[in-house]
Amino acid sequence: MLKLIHLTDLHFTPPGIGHLGCQPRRRLEAAVESINTEHGDAAWVVITGDLAALGQSAAYEELKACLAELRVPYRLCLGNGDHRARFRAVFRDVEVDDTGFVQSVVETPAGRLLLLDTLVQGVHWGELCERRLAWLSRQLEQGGAAPVFLFMHHPPFPIGIKLIDSLSLKNADRLAALLDGRNIRHMFLGHAHRPVAGSWRGIPFTILRSTVSQFALRLDSDQPLRCYESPFYAVVLIDEAEVIVHFHDYGYDGAVFQYDTVPNVVVDDETRAADFQQSMVSAASRPACAARAAAAIPRSCRRGRR
């Protein structure tokens, strides 16, 4: 199966400046190390926007330096935190469409990855203007029945969290009309800083946590409530029949152990059962890259571990 890595909402800042209690560069460095070590065989890494928190040029310079360590080729989308012109001035080789939007196609053996630019400069909601929609329409036409995997920052639908829903893609109906009847296998999205999966008008989608802070799951709140749930990236496996999305908690620094130390029958003797359980704990190991990744994530953000 073709392997892709999906990351989103990096919120890079200039050197020395944090973001809501996190250090975006250290978070991405940990992800890059994890990808290089564990998933260096991936075909592509795609990052779906909010590359920078406030679109400063120095943030893009930081990001470019950090991504230079990645051993897997990468593609980037823009989000509402980004500044298109400053981004393009730093990432001079980035692929853009015929009118300068950061939209591109990646051909893979499993189908076509279409990366869309939903940024409306200066606002937090997203939109696909006529020019961007026209580009998408042409790509869908040219691709015919080939499988399509869409990557973009703004979800084109509400997810049930009021604040995020007020900042989604504004002209979702136009997008839906273009996608109707096409072979769209999956949509990979950002913006919500939450793990969300489902389908929209029959198209499966996944949204990921950010590599920095997350929105809290408070469905009825219209306040921007944040939290430090663990960041992760997605490991995506694709072939002609399936799309599998694994959510990788790359900062997890707990045990990884052999399950086959557990007896395959129910143990009636409670003392023996306790001995088996203890042996599982002693057999546990901890991968070095996970330990280094965890070091970039404050203890308060990590998953509970006794």
Rounded to a whole number of angstroms, the minimum distance from the CB of residue 138 to Fe ion is 29
The b/e string for 51-76 (b: 16+ C-beta within 10 A; e otherwise) is bbbebbebbbbbbeebbeebebeebb
Rounded to a whole number of angstroms, the minimum distance from the CB of residue 37 to Fe ion is 26
Interface with Fe ion, residue 82, by CB under 5 A: no
Residue of 4, 13, 30, 50 interacting with Fe ion (CB under 5 A): 50
Question: Which of the stretches 43-51, 112-120, 169-177, 288-296 binds Fe ion when contact is defined by CB under 5 A?
Answer: 43-51
Interface with Fe ion, residue 97, by CB under 5 A: no
| Nearest to Fe ion of 77, 243 (CB atom) | 77
Residue 99 CA to residue 41 CA, distance in Å, equals 33
Mapped onto helix, strand or coil, the DSSP state of residue 223 is: coil
| Nearest to Fe ion of 9, 253 (CB atom) | 9
For residues 205 and 230, the answer to whether their CB atoms sit within 8 Å is no
Largest CA distance in the chain: 72
Question: Which of the stretches 46-54, 89-97, 171-179, 292-300 binds Fe ion when contact is defined by CB under 5 A?
Answer: 46-54
Question: Which of the stretches 4-12, 157-165, 176-184, 246-254 binds Fe ion when contact is defined by CB under 5 A?
Answer: 4-12
306: tokens are: 């006794």
| Nearest to Fe ion of 9, 62 (CB atom) | 9
Radius of gyration of the chain (CA): 21
Interface with Fe ion, residue 9, by CB under 5 A: yes
Q: How many other CB atoms are found less than 10 A from the CB of residue 238?
A: 23
Q: Is 199 exposed, middle or buried (0-12, 13-18, 19+ CB in 10 A)?
A: exposed
Rounded to a whole number of angstroms, the minimum distance from the CB of residue 199 to Fe ion is 23
Rounded to a whole number of angstroms, the minimum distance from the CB of residue 242 to Fe ion is 29
For the chain, how many helices (H) and strands (E)? Answer: 8, 13
Give how many residues touch Fe ion by CB under 5 A.
2
8-state DSSP, 231: P
Binding residues for Fe ion, per CB under 5 A?
Answer: 9, 50
